[in-house]
Structure 1
Amino acid sequence: MTDWIIRQFVANHENVQENAVRTAYGKVSSCVGILCNLLLFLCKLTVGTLSGSLSITADAVNNLSDASSSIISLLGFKMASKPADDEHPYGHGRYEYLSGLTVALLILVIGVELFRSSIGKILTPLPVDFRWVSAAVLAGSILVKFWMAAFNRKVGRLIDSKTLIATAADSRNDVISTAAVLAASLLSHFTSLELDGWMGLAVAVFILYSGFGLVRDTLDPLLGRAPEPRLVAEIRGKILGYPGVLGTHDLMIHDYGPGRQFGSVHVEMAAEQDVLVSHDVIDNIERDFLRDGLHMIIHFDPIVTQNQAVDDLRSWLSEQVRTIHPALSIHDLRIVPGATHTNVIFDCVVPHNFPMRYSELKAAIGAAVARQYPNHYCVITIDTDYAALPH
């Protein structure tokens, strides 16, 4: 069913990297959500009103909010597809993240309202008029929502959409909540237990727990989440594969929406090599990354490779800082000899959870260098590791 819908309504559906195709996927998914949720809302509202069941009526309202969420998703994909302009040169792709966050917040609102209503039903229970048609509607809703969860999860993963992943999680929540409502109705019918309010409370707690997780996941790219370790490793491996590249560091990735990533990185190459040759290699690296969809700006760091003393000091110092903390690394090392002492100038990269103060770290490195090289003085710049890029 999912594949048929995609083939019928998404032109050129194989090219998911194109913004127009991603937008088409998002629109189709949103329209499916609107139609299915409106149908479920009308059916559940009818049987919930006739039976007097708070949990069924609450489930109906939940479907209505899901339809609203699909409308928000539709608007989000539409606005995210707007081209870049003078005020937004990086495009409008983050609208998609904002729509996903809005869906997650709506899930929280539903959870809070259902929690409040369920507490009231527990304190003042009312009998529920069980009808088999209600059970049939709930069972049908479970099947529809199960398919919607699978549909949105597949499309969300296909186009890497946080909005559709959140929508899939919401549909999964609906499967669980509706199943709980159906179980409560059957138990209340065949026993003397009034579980309508208690089951609604359990569903509300689950929805709130899921909602908080979705808010966290959708906020991450807006707040500037670090790139995935797999992506970092791929970028590093690709750069090191070019001729003449000795090392790389200071990688930064900025996410302006799915398929809209911009990056910068420092690349180390031999200082003795012709600068025009090095520049040509860097141009090729940038061009190849752009072909893969990543706008990369590369800074060239010349490294002295034909001075044995510098090489020995660089190797020794790299190992020395790792004895202080295994995540530490150095780069851009230079030696400036003087009449009375030699300046050792370099950057030291530290992780965000580094336990020492920077002043203490500088003192520890300086003391180690002074013990090994008595007339050497360290000039250290502390770098923050933005991407956990290994050196």
Structure 2
Amino acid sequence: MAPSQRRQELITNQKADPYKVCLFLKEGVFPLIQLLIRTFVKNYKSTADRAVRTAYGNLACIVSVVCNLLLAGGKIAVGVLTGSVAITADGMNNLSDASSNVVSLVGFKLGARPADSEHPYGHARYEYLAGLAVSVMILVIGVELLKESFAKVLHPTEVAFSWLMVAVLIASILVKLWMSRLNRQIGTAIDSETLLATAADARNDVITTAAVLAATILTKLTGFARIDGLMGIGVAAFILYSGAMLVKDTINPLLGAAPDSDLVEHIEKKALSYPGVLGVHDLMIHDYGPGSRLVSFHLEMDAKDDVMHSHDVIDRIERDLLVEDGLIATIHFDPVVTGDPHADELKAFLQREVEELAPLANIHDLRIVPGPTHTNVIFDCAVPAEYMTDKQHRGVKLVNALRNAVQAKWPDHFCVIKLEPDYAPVHHE
């Protein structure tokens, strides 16, 4: 079996994440949601399984499409009959939501395709692309609704009030609340940004529909016809804002967003829990879509330890990260000299200086190379990415300050410092 096929098999067959399953069940699944999940998702507790994850995504998208189409049909019909542009606008928003759900469904289908020779890291980023497409569609709808609402303000028409209209809007609010819960719970269970965005969109729809309901009642009470158009502008503005935020959220992982701090902390704590591990640095996380993340980092172990034993520990960590967390890890072994009083003193001194000068920076890979006339102190200094490029030259200033501090204490010591960006900062209070 080819390595890429074996890797895909390990990811597909990994165990369920107990934390996510417990959270999913503990939150209190609505009876109807639980019934849908038990009926249409086989092995629904195995949320880390690729096939189960796809089944969850398909269920959420299909249910959302059906609900949004029903809501859109009801609102547009009532809006046309009563002449309410706000209700029609809200119905068009539901129609755009249905289109977005279809795009998300396609994204789940394409993202579930296994890795191949042309795409060895899989196709999971299709989900991010689907989310971006959904966000752009929301922006387009928002612009169109804004233009229509402005026209309604300039040229108001009478809106025929009916209790049917009120009933449809109240029903819409209840359905959207349920849809938000459905997508949020499933999105949390399978770690899907697309479904979490859909949940947020449904929650926003509750707000916009409530605004339309308020406009309908206020128009009836005051007789001021422009309230409908003004509320339509408010709804359109809210849609535009939500679309812009969704564009930002979905484009970030495509551009290479910083890894989640909880994930970084989890990886560090997990690695440090193995026997003989002294430290972790140079952590990098590459996100190729949900369920397809590559991790690399340097692992510090005592240079006096048996090399084969250290290698075995590293193999265990790589295997456990894959099976338990779905992370494909590559770990570099860094032997660390321990028990050298001067090296320990120098390292402690540098750490104190860094904490005072730049608390977000850290040092590692310290080596001391003595010579006949001077001693070279060689180490890497990882800093926030901004330190590498900002106009204040904070990175360069930090390097110079560390060199001066060392030479002030040990005149015959010269620092050779490699300044590098910290791609996944791990800091604790």
Matched, 1:364 2:401: yes
- Residue in 2 aligned with 1:23? 54
1:185 aligns with 2:222: no
Query: 1:290 and 2:327 equivalent?
Result: no
**Equivalences for 1:348-387 in 2 at 5 Å?**
348-354=381-387, 356-387=393-424
* TM-score (normalised: structure 2): 0.88
* CA apart distance, 1:344: 0.9
CA distance in 1, matches of 2:262, 2:102: 34
RMSD (CA atoms):
1.5
SS of 2:75's partner is: helix
Please give the residue correspondences for 1:1-391 in structure 2 after superposition, counting only pairs within 5 Å. Answer: 1-194=32-225, 195-292=227-324, 293-354=326-387, 356-390=393-427
What letter is aligned with 1:225? A
Render the CA deviation track for 1:76-135: whole Å, top value 9, x for unaligned. 000000000111101011111111122222222222221111111111111112222222
Amino acid at match of 1:207: I
Question: 2:129, 2:160 → 1: CA distance?
Answer: 42
> What code does the residue aligned with 1:295 have?
I
Identity of aligned residues (%): 56
**Deviation for aligned residue 1:361:** 2.3
Q: CA, structure 1 residues 146+359, in 2 after alignment: closer, same or farther (shift >3 Å)?
A: closer
- Say if 1:115 and 1:200, in contact at 8 Å, map to a contact too: yes
Aligned-partner SS, 1:225: coil
Offset, 1:197: 0.2
- Aligned positions, number: 391
Runs of 5+ in structure 2 lacking a partner? 1-31
Aligned-residue offset at 1:234: 1.7
Letter in 2 for 1:226: A
Residue 375 (structure 1) shift: 0.8
Residue type at the aligned position of 1:303: V
Q: 1:207 offset after TM fit, Å?
A: 1.7
Q: Which residue of 1 aligns with 2:25?
A: none
Quick one: distance in 1 between partners of 2:206 and 2:181?
A: 11
Letter in 2 for 1:290: L
Distance 2:95 2:356 in 1: 59
C-alpha separation in 1, matches of 2:307 and 2:411: 35
Q: Does the CA contact (< 8 Å) of 1:335 and 1:342 recur in 2? A: yes
More moved, 185-194 vs 262-271: 185-194
1:260-315 Cα distance to aligned partner (Å, 9 max, x none): 11100101111122211211111111111111111111101111113222222122
Contact 1:328–1:349 at 8 Å: present in 2 too? Answer: yes
For 1:266 and 1:350, the matched residues in 2 are separated by: 16
1:26-64 alpha-carbon deviations (Å, 9 max, x no partner): 111111111111112222222211111111211221121
Distance 1:142 1:362 in 2: 58
Instruction: For residue 381 of structure 1, give the secondary structure of its aligned residue in structure 2.
Output: strand
Q: Tell me, which stretches of 5 or more residues in structure 1 are unaligned?
A: none
Per-residue deviation, 1:247: 1.0
In structure 2, the residue corresponding to 1:314 is in which secondary structure?
A: helix
2:301 match: secondary structure:
strand
**TM-score, normalised with respect to structure 1:** 0.96
Equivalent-residue separation in structure 2 for 1:258 and 1:131 (angstroms): 47
| Distance in structure 1 (CA, Å) of the matches to 2:91 and 2:427 | 51
Report the AA paired with residue 197 of structure 1: G
